[in-house]
Structure 1
Amino acid sequence: MTDEPLPSLADLDRRLREARETVLGPPEPEAPTRTSNAFGSAMRLGVEFVSGFVVGGLIGWALDRWFGTRPWFMVVFFLLGAAAGTVNLIRAARRLQAEAEASEEQNSSTRG
């Protein structure tokens, strides 16, 4: 048996990285996966929309219980919550569209 010390894992990792770069060239940055982003965006938009209805309805229900004016506050705040949910949905969709267009421009400029 030899008495040479075993190389450390950090040294092995460094040598493997150097060998890969020599053979394959420098690594390219990985592009984000669109499927997981699309699913997350769809879930986010759904939650943005529904949360307005729920929060508005709960505020109206609480005010109706407090003042004893059933169902007037609930109807009014449900409609206000619906409007707020719709506005939030439109804002979030515009923001996601702008991010997607910026990402597409960046990807097309790096390819060509």
Structure 2
Amino acid sequence: MADDPLPSLADLDRRLKEARDTVVGPPERETPPPTSSAYGSAMRLGVEFSSGFVVGGLIGWALDRWFGTRPWLMVTFFFLGAAAGMLNVIRVVRRMQAEADAQADEDSDLKRG
């Protein structure tokens, strides 16, 4: 074994090029895996929705304590947080729908040929 010379880098490079030329590539999947599960999407929507309420309520509560205007700022910011949470949910759902539509278009293109 000590008598065997180590292969040169040029030899290694040549063998790698030959191997790359013979490999066609990984087989294509018929349908790509889903980007997220339904459970994950539902959890994300729930967090988006409830975080608006919580953050708005906390900001209002803190401002009420600071300015001594209980409960007006908390109520105001609670509703602002609710609106922000609903807006976030609408944005996420629209994005998810656009991704689903793009995936459906891609799938129909693959089926056509």
Confirm or deny a common fold (TM above 0.5). yes
What is the distance in 1 between the residues matched to 2:40 and 2:21?
36
SS at match of 1:37: coil
1:18 aligns with 2:49: no
Aligned to 2:110: 110
Match of 2:7 among 2, 5, 30: 5
**Structure 1 residue 107 displacement after superposition:** 2.1
CA gap of 1:100–1:81, structure 2 versus 1, over 3 A, is same
Identical counterparts, % of pairs: 54
> How much is the aligned-residue C-alpha RMSD, in angstroms?
2.8
Structure 1: tracts of 5 or more residues without a match: none
Number of residue pairs matched by the alignment: 106
Q: Could you state the TM-score of these two structures normalised by the residue count of structure 2?
A: 0.70
SS at match of 2:7: coil
Q: Is the radius of gyration larger for structure 1 or structure 2?
A: 2
What is the distance in 2 between the residues matched to 1:45 and 1:14?
49
Normalized per residue, the structure richer in helix is 1
Structure 2: tracts of 5 or more residues without a match: none
Aligned to 1:33: 33
